[in-house]
Structure 1
Amino acid sequence: MSNPDYEMPWRAPYEAYSMLAWVASAGLCFAIAHFGSLPSGPFYYVSAFALAMAGYQSVLAVRHMKIKRNLCGKELTFMDIEDLHKKVTQPKGIFKDNLWIGKGFEWGQKHAQRVYEITKRSMEEDIDKQVEKKFGKEKAKKMMGKSWIHGVEPDEQDLSIPVEHLSLHTVVFGTTGAGKTRLLDLIVAQAIFRDEAVIIIDPKGDKELMLNAFRACKIAGKPEAFMTFNPAYPEQSVRIDPMKNWNRSTELASRVKELITSDSENDPFAQFSWMAINNIVQGLIETGTRPNFRRLRQYIEGGPAKLLARALSNHFDDCVPNWRTALASKLQKAKDGEAETRILVSFYRNHVQDKHRKQSLDGLCKMFDHDRTHMSKMVASLEPILNQLTSGELGDLLSPDEEDIHDIRPITDSSRIINSGQVVVVGLDSLSDSTVGSAIGSIFLADLTAVAGDRYNYPVGNRPVNVIVDEAAEVINKPLISLMNKGRGAGFRVTICSQTYPDFIARLGDESKARQVIGNANNLIGLRTKDDQTQEFISNPMGETIIRQIMHTQNTNAIDNANPTSFSGGYGERLIETEMPLFSPAMLGNLPNLEYIASFSGGRIRKGRLPIITSDIDVSLDDQVWMTEREG
């Protein structure tokens, strides 16, 4: 049956058989014309016609066999990072205003049809033999996945998406070794070549991703822009103050409260901890002192007496002349700092509060009066977090002291990183300490969200900011959700990666919250993943398509049972259509390394494969500009 709506590319190469028949016909006619006694003219014409038909059939045969040969797949592709830089910086190249994401094609109905025909006919075994023949048995055994998924389309092209679409955010799913890091190499390198700010939050601290970002900075001519933060390598890390940027002072208390493990939003212990932190933050601001984790820990553990005394003294200096003279005798009789603070609190409440009241001082006074034993119980969940963020080298990294002349490591913050177009790789060292790593990642994300809010309110010369979060389920929090919700207007482009969709459910404790996170990403890229729920989550938005197949029917009918020769029969073929997923969820578990299926904003489905970025440039973290300048 010949039907223009039905394609069966995996049949025998009938075009080749037809070509051979036409060639034989041409040869026979030529022989008759040349050696026979009949008039030669007609035979020459028929011979020429046969050769023309043979040529036409050969074209069809080559096209048909090309599709079948392509099922063996392709070897891994390597691309030098210098070549990528040239492509991105070409004035009129496709890479200029687009993110290049490898080679591939747009996945459609015909590809789903071809996959169906392969699986229906159990062709995998034959394809595996062809793969062994092409690559060798040893190499074929090491190859992962099914090469024919990408091979159903023989014609590849460069795949890219407009960089403006990245502001709609991207989520990447892929199991270990599937190619997430190589994809991030592409995204990060091209962002650096476009002179954009890049912030990478990597719980594992992938060294190759870090060094490739450094190489990209060197090639782009701005090696000084690269910096790294990693508690595992404090001597090679810059110091970052994640509490420096805020729009409202209450944000700082909320950032720390988010780190407290709580069963509900209204947990009284978490709420009390928020109030305690907020009171201390208000007191630090009153004294002109920048809040940081070390200072918070100091006054949470030791009590707010000293801070309150300084804050009240500053307030009295502003609004109560000669207060020191009035209290001199009482202060001289005070035995310790607690007693001095009580005298100041009493003076504030009796003589100052009515006319010169300050809410920030009221809260701190109330905290000072609170029973210390009860206070310790209420902030019991807060103290371990502050201890984790201030212990050892981590305290110097997250609570930098600008007056410490002996520590020459640069101090930066999210706002400076973004405005200067810096490239910072934040390694969380979660493999060594997942609790502290998760806390650091969450705090950094909260700081970025504050900067995004400021940029949104005052959008003056906002350069694009690429925020890359690997293993995002380990650090995801409300600020990251807010960043994805509202970050587009502030120029933020968020890319989050995870191994499975249930990772987000487990972290957030609710599937609806997990869907809220993923729903903020218009671009979805799926590499190989083995989790059923993740496979369905990636496949379902791609929708369904029509699969066509030929149904064969035959029948016999006896007209007269008494007469064995009296019967009729029939044979027929019918084209039927069935709805099936455009890209089957099960195929996501069979994708080879570095291959992906993606649904981009606008509903376009792309099947692609990624290159491995290579470079001859030898770099190490000791080559950071600030470190070489120090040695010089």
Structure 2
Amino acid sequence: MEALLRPPVELWSCFTAIAAGLLALLAPWALMMPPGIAAASSLAFWGFGLWRGHQAWRVLRYQRHMKRLPEYRIAADRVPVSQHKLFLGKGFRWTQQHTQRLRDTLKPEVQRYVQPGALYHWARQKEVAWESIPGLTLLARLLRSRSRWNLLAPLPPVGGKPALHAVEPHEQPVWMDLGERVGHTLVLGTTRVGKTRLAELLITQDIHRGDVVIVFDPKGDADLLRRIYAEAKRADRLDDFYLFHLGFPELSARYNAIGNFSRITEVATRIANQLPNEGNSAAFKEFAWRFVNIIARALVALKRRPDYQQIRRYINDIEPLFVEYAGYCAAIAGIDAWASLVEERAADIKERNLPNALRGRSMEAIACMRLLQERVIYDPVLDGLISAFKYDKTYFDKIVSSVGPLMEKLTTGTIAALISPDYQDEQDARPIFEWMDVVRRKGIVYVGLDALTDTTVASAVGNSMFADLVSVAGHIYKHGVASEQAGHARGGDLDASGHGPGQSSMSTLPTISLHADEFNELIGDEFVPLLNKAGGAGFQVTAYTQTWSDVEARIGSKAKAGQVAGNFNTMLMLRVKELDTADMLTEQLPRVEVFSLMSVSGVDDSSDPGSGVDFKSRNEDRISVSEVPMLTAADMVTLPKGQAFALLEGGQLWKIRIPLPDSRGDAAIPSDFEAMADAMRRSYITNDHWYRVTDHWWHAVSETTSDSSEQVDSP
């Protein structure tokens, strides 16, 4: 049993001992001591007084922190960075003792040690009442000041219950082993409680550690962007920093969301996954997938990289692609003068003799179809194009109508040039980045999706990026990153060192730190394999969201949401407002025993008139033991801003305080967004071309046109 919420009675013995020591030193005759013994006694008294004073100071500090914790800031250039540990802040390991102390703060008789006093509440009332009264305005301003000289200063605007952290007066730096990050980390917390500031702390360490850093920020937090830019500059990695932001297309780098893949079918999957799949929509989604897959296979066979612009064009009108691919197939078959043959046959076609489904179609396309059928030229892609071409135009538009609005959103305005870049446009100096190149260069990528402006586009681009990353993870796992063609050139044979594909480069796997803020806006079917399969490729995901219900609503299935949650081995929970979310942490904790002290007094009258005892009285202190949860959901709701509970390394519970970033006087942080934009525009001026067509890649691509399940190297 502890008694820290009580008057500091140690002060009496402290002052008494110090006074006795002074008396012994200055007037030894008063204590009838010779000078030598008096000096020794004085030292003994003072030693005892200091010991009791230390005990009193422990009680006073404990009680002071119950009302107001000291501010915790760290300058950006002072954030500790380790190659083996991840710094999370200051805190302590939560045990039964802290649960006991927390329950002690709920007793009515100790509230004056936990809650601010009457004078504090009077100051808060007067600072508002006197705010507009002439002559008292200055006094109200002084009461409102947070200066250390103001004894009635208002509490920091962090809310919550400081006692949750004050139950342990001795903090220590909290570190997490980097080996645990491969098991992925989940950060939960409601709005404006410090999730993004925690992200800044973790990202800062990842950048200085030399990791590949990828940050997804759906809402586009300007402070987070500035911090990433500043840390990249401080770590001398600004040349490898890429900004992709849908809200600032003139500043953003460019990215082809469907141009990189391991299998050609990924193109259709990334687009079709953005379509609704409930009820009747599921059938239309399958039709959309089929026709997008046909178009993508044809584009790849024609040595053209798929993008949203081309998919949209040929979904609306597939005839030009069919005619172009027919010429390609004729050239492979060795048919001479194909253009003349098509022109002659087109001149002989009469529209009145055509079936209803082909009326209104291009005569050139009909001629190509008939000539190919007569020559018995078979090609899987060509067969699919002919099948799509033979549909009635009105019917075809109906069955692919679900994909039309999505493609319109993705190819409208300045965003189209970002996610469907023109690789041959030498006038556009904005770089085009690809994930494999980012991994090789150990780059830093900030992805701002501007979800507040258009949620659909943000979700589609984000999910396509995740799908691309899963494909890259598979490639890295099999073949490493030293050479993109290492595993393909030999067709899976052993390399010179006797290792199979990918084995020789496993020891050099990069560390890819992926931070997904507001990941409930991004999560889809692509995110699950990134969690449960990409760890072997060096991916370590840190996901941030407000409530777990957001994730369940996004996925649409509680079972799938549970599958996602099961892939996060580490959990950090800031203040949450949903009890079900709080239960995700509290239900994993054991129950502990706490002790309660109860005073009992009573009187018994004597019933024996001949006895000399008239009554009996007794006074007792009884200690009772009860079993309670180590933490409750209510504790999660009352966490102050910037504080969190963390389940680390196999369920160890830590209470931590996240340091506030201290950017005062930090020259690395640009004063405004425009200053950063100007610097990035200068760094984006480049004369090199990102897009290089290699014979090996096109050879691999051409092989896929004969079999839709054939694996294709990532462009």
CA RMSD, aligned part only? 3.1
Alpha-carbon separation, structure 1, partners of 2:441 and 2:19: 74
Match 2:83 to one of 66, 89, 96: 96
Match status 1:376 vs 2:397: yes
5+ long unaligned stretches in structure 1: 1-5, 89-94
TM, length-normalised to structure 2: 0.79
Mapped to 2, the partners of 1:114 and 1:458 lie a distance apart of: 54
State the partner residue of 1:548.
595
1:462 has 2:478 as partner: no
Match of 1:616 in 2: 667
* C-alpha contact 2:575 2:640 (8 A) present in aligned 1: yes
Q: Distance in 2 between matches of 1:399 and 1:569?
A: 90
Distance apart, 1:137 and its partner CA: 4.0
- In the TM superposition, residue 15 of structure 1 has moved relative to its aligned partner by 3.0
Work out the CA distance in 2 between the residues paired with 1:173 and 1:220. Answer: 29
**Cα distance between partner residues in 2 of 1:124 and 1:418:** 56
Matched residue SS, 1:388: helix
User: In structure 1, how many angstroms separate the alpha carbons of the residues matched to 2:342 and 2:362?
Assistant: 15
| Partner Cα separation in structure 1 for residue 110 and residue 373 of structure 2 | 87
1:20, CA displacement in angstroms? 4.5
Is 1:274 the counterpart of 2:322? The answer is no
Structure 1 residue 148: deviation in Å? 2.3
Q: How does 1:253-272 map onto structure 2 within 5 Å?
A: 253-263=268-278, 267-272=282-287
Is 1:234 aligned with 2:289?
no
* Cα deviation, residue 203, structure 1: 1.2
* Code of the aligned partner of 1:77: Y
CA 1:221 to 1:37, structure 2 compared with 1: closer, same or farther past 3 Å?
A: closer
Distance (Å, rounded) in 1 between the aligned partners of 2:572 and 2:465: 25
What is the TM-score of this pair, normalised by structure 1?
Answer: 0.89
Aligned partner of residue 456 in structure 2, secondary structure: helix
1:153 deviates by 1.2
In structure 2, relative to structure 1, the CA distance for the partners of 1:167 and 1:40 (3 Å cut) is closer
Q: What are the superposed Cα offsets for residues 540-583 of structure 1, whole Å, 9 maximum, x if unpaired?
A: 22333222222344455556377795554544333322222222
**Secondary structure of the equivalent of 1:129?**
coil
CA distance in 2, matches of 1:486, 1:493: 11
Residue in structure 2 matched with residue 437 of structure 1 by the alignment: 458
Answering whether residue 389 of structure 2 is matched by residue 338 of structure 1, we say no
2:699 is matched with none
CA deviation after TM superposition for structure 1 residue 231, in Å: 2.0
**Conserved 8 A contact 1:260-1:382:** yes
Distance 2:683 2:342 in 1: 56
- 1:527 matched residue in structure 2: 574
Q: Return the alpha-carbon distance in structure 1 between the equivalents of residues 174 and 211 of structure 2.
A: 21
**Shift of residue 172 of structure 1?**
1.0
Counterpart of 2:640 (choices 592, 597, 619) is 592
Equivalence for 1:316: 330
Residue 64 of structure 2 aligns to which amino acid in structure 1? R
Partner of 1:512, secondary structure, is helix
Match of 2:682 in 1: 627
Query: Partner letter of residue 386 of structure 1?
Result: M
Aligned counterpart in structure 2 of residue 173 of structure 1, from 178, 188, 200: 188
Q: Secondary structure at the match of 1:411?
A: coil
Change (3 A) 1:136 1:309: farther
Letter in 2 for 1:308: F
Instruction: Please give the secondary structure, in 2, of the residue aligned with 1:494.
Output: strand
CA distance in 1, matches of 2:201, 2:647: 18
Write the distance in 2 (CA, Å) between the matches of 1:166 and 1:301: 46
| 1:182 aligned residue | 197
Residue type matched to 1:206 in 2? Answer: D
Displacement of 1:182 in angstroms is 0.8
Q: How does 1:490-509 map to 2 (within 5 A)?
A: 490-509=537-556
* Shift, 1:110, TM fit: 1.3
Aligned to 2:53: 58
Question: How much does 1:79 deviate?
Answer: 2.2
Distance 1:33 1:492, change over 3 A: same
Of 7, 29, 43, which aligns to 2:2?
A: 7
Structure 1 counterpart of 2:583, one-letter code: E
Q: Secondary structure at the match of 1:119?
A: coil
Say if 1:508 and 1:244 are closer, same or farther in 2 by CA, change over 3 A: same
Deviations along 1:126-181, one digit per CA (max 9) or x if unpaired, are: 43427959765453274422222211111111111122221111111112211111
- Number of the residue aligned with 2:171: 156
Q: Report the CA distance shift for 1:416/1:280 in structure 2 as closer, same or farther (over 3 A).
A: same
- What is the DSSP-based 3-state SS (H/G/I as helix, E as strand, rest coil) of the residue aligned with 1:240? coil
State how far apart, in whole Å, the 2-side matches of 1:81 and 1:113 are. Answer: 36
Task: Tell me, in whole angstroms, the C-alpha distance in 1 between the residues paired with 2:453 and 2:389.
Answer: 38
Distance 1:538 1:570 in 2: 45
1:48-71 per-residue CA deviation (whole Å, 9 max, x = no partner) reads: 766554444333333333322332
Q: Of 68, 87, 94, which aligns to 1:107?
A: 94
Q: Is the 8 A contact 1:225 1:422 kept in 2?
A: yes
1:399 aligns with 2:420: yes
Q: 2:176–2:649: 8 Å Cα contact kept in structure 1?
A: no
Q: Would you say the 8 A contact 2:215–2:516 is kept in 1? A: yes
Contact 1:8 / 1:114 at 8 angstroms: preserved in 2? no
Deviations 1:309-356 (A, max 9, x none): 222322232234447376663245468973332333334344335xxx
Residue by residue, what CA displacement relative to the aligned partner does 1:230-279 show, whole Å, maximum 9, x if unpaired?
22211101111111221111111111111112226981111111111111
Q: Distance in 2 between matches of 1:495 and 1:397?
A: 26
Change in Cα spacing, 1:446 to 1:155, as seen in structure 2 (3 Å) is: same
* Bigger mean CA offset, 117-126 vs 25-34: 25-34
- TM-superposition CA deviations, 1:20-61 (whole Å, max 9, x none): 455567778899972477999999988776655444433333
Equivalent pairs, count: 615
Q: Deviations over 1:399-452 (max 9, x none)?
A: 001111222211112222222222111111111222222222222212111111
Distance 1:117 1:78 in 2: 30
Whether the 8 Å contact between 2:450 and 2:458 is mirrored in structure 1 is: yes
> 1:75-133: CA deviations, max 9, x gaps?
4333222223xx42xxxxxx232211111222221111111101124645543427959
| 8 Å CA contact 1:27, 1:47 repeated in 2 | yes
Q: Per-residue CA shift, 1:177-202, capped at 9, x if unaligned?
A: 11111111111111111111111111
C-alpha distance in structure 2 between counterparts of 1:405 and 1:47, whole Å: 88
CA gap 1:36/1:320 in 2 versus in 1, 3 angstroms: closer
What is the Cα deviation at residue 229 of structure 1? Answer: 1.5
* Alignment of 1:367 onto 2:388: yes
C-alpha separation between the residues in 2 aligned to 1:28 and 1:411?
83
- State the shift of 1:296 in Å: 0.6
- Give the 5 Å matches for 1:390-429: 390-429=411-450
Which residue type is aligned with residue 599 of structure 1? L
More helix by share: 1
Pick from 194, 207, 210 the counterpart of residue 192 of structure 1.
Answer: 207
Q: 2: distance between equivalents of 1:398 and 1:612? A: 36
- Structure 2 vs 1, CA of residues 411 and 47 (structure 1 numbering), >3 Å: closer, same or farther? closer
Question: Are the equivalent residues in 1 in contact too, given 2:87–2:174 (CA < 8 A)?
Answer: yes
Contact between 2:66 and 2:113, CA under 8 Å: does it hold in 1?
no
**In 1, Cα distance between equivalents of 2:440 and 2:36:** 83
Query: Is structure 2 residue 12 aligned with structure 1 residue 17?
Result: yes
Q: SS of 1:237's equivalent?
A: coil
Distance 1:292 1:267 in 2: 24
> Distance between the aligned counterparts of 2:610 and 2:257, measured in 1?
96
Distance 1:330 1:593, change over 3 A: same
Q: 2:320 aligns with which of 266, 291, 306?
A: 306
Question: How many angstroms apart in 2 are the aligned matches of 1:551 and 1:105?
Answer: 30
Whether 2:149 is the aligned partner of 1:129: answer no
Q: C-alpha separation between the residues in 2 aligned to 1:234 and 1:629?
A: 13
With 542-551 and 482-491 compared, the bigger mean Cα shift is at 542-551
